[in-house]
Amino acid sequence: MRLTVNHVTRYHYAAPVRSVVQSHRLTPSTFQGQKVIDWAISVTEGTRGAEFRDGAGDLVQGWTVAGPVGEIAVSVTGVVETVDLTGVLRGHKETVAPDCYLRATLPTRVDKALDALAHTVSGADTLALAHALMGAVADAIAYKPGVTHAHTTAAEALVLGEGVCQDHAHAMIALARARGLPGRYVSGYLFADADGFAHEAAHAWAEVFVAGLGWVGFDPANRCCPDARYIRLGSGFDAQDAAPIRGIARGGGREEMDVTVAIQNQDQ
């Protein structure tokens, strides 16, 4: 598929801020499943700084905005060609050892309920087990926007029995770790076709490391492995670690943010 992306994140400040510094993971990953045809990132009155590829293989860019400024917009436009690799992350260069992703974080911490859920399923091999864990998450946490928030943990989402893709990804990571499998959070985009799957265009899923195969993506929100409809941006231990935009504003008052994302298929 050839997918076009239009993604705008606007930050509004109650009072003008003196400066804004941001770190972006907004450039699609480089691997066999996707190829960037065209990609551009801009920040209102922003100055682009240094960039580097981190140990997880993600491109990180720095941006600064000199104030005073009351509003800024981070705009992303581009075209990505994708191929269905049945969720397998082939050809992705990284140096971080998979076992690093056995580390616990607050959003993915395993409690008794998550551990019990992880042990309700089994599989003939590691890949089958990971698929079973995805099904367990999807059955236990129904997709419902608005019931959780940015800081909801996997344990809290399981108690609620509802959540969004972020909650599904955190829960999938927790269940994988409960069974001794490295798991990590992935941020990206998802194109919705005419069948209309329930999801946000700015999407998130999990990857589980399967020995002999590598990292494999699992999306409990849609009960599938990532295919050609998905664009992978970057990964991390959890949603905060993998956030496409991280930053800090100096001075000013309350900050409000709104996001618009549109994904289209040029092949249609």
Buried b or exposed e, range 34-58, using 16+ CB within 10 angstroms: beeeeeebebeebeeeeeeeeebbb
Which helix (H) or strand (E) segment is 231 a member of?
strand 230-236
Q: Are strands 59-82 and 34-43 parallel, antiparallel or unpaired?
A: antiparallel
Phi-psi region of 214 (alpha: psi -120 to 50; beta: other; left: phi over 0): left
Assign 25 to helix, strand or coil. coil
In this structure, the chain runs to a length of 268
DSSP state letters, 28-57: PP-BTTEEEEEEEEEETTEEEEEEEE-TTS
Domains of the chain: 2-81+244-265 (2.60.40.2250), 84-236 (3.10.620.30)
Quote the pLDDT of residue 198.
47
The DSSP call for residue 213 is: T
pTM surpassing 0.85? Answer: yes
The encoded tokens of residue 61 equal 């860019």
Q: Identify the sign of the CA torsion 210, 215, 216, 221.
A: positive
Along the 268 residues of the chain, how does pLDDT read in single tens digits?
Answer: 999 999 999 999 989 999 999 999 999 999 999 999 999 999 999 999 999 999 999 999 999 999 899 999 999 999 999 999 999 999 999 999 999 999 999 999 999 999 999 999 999 999 999 999 999 999 999 999 999 999 999 999 999 999 999 999 999 999 999 999 999 999 999 997 545 554 567 999 999 999 999 999 999 999 999 999 999 999 999 999 999 999 999 986 788 999 999 999 987 6
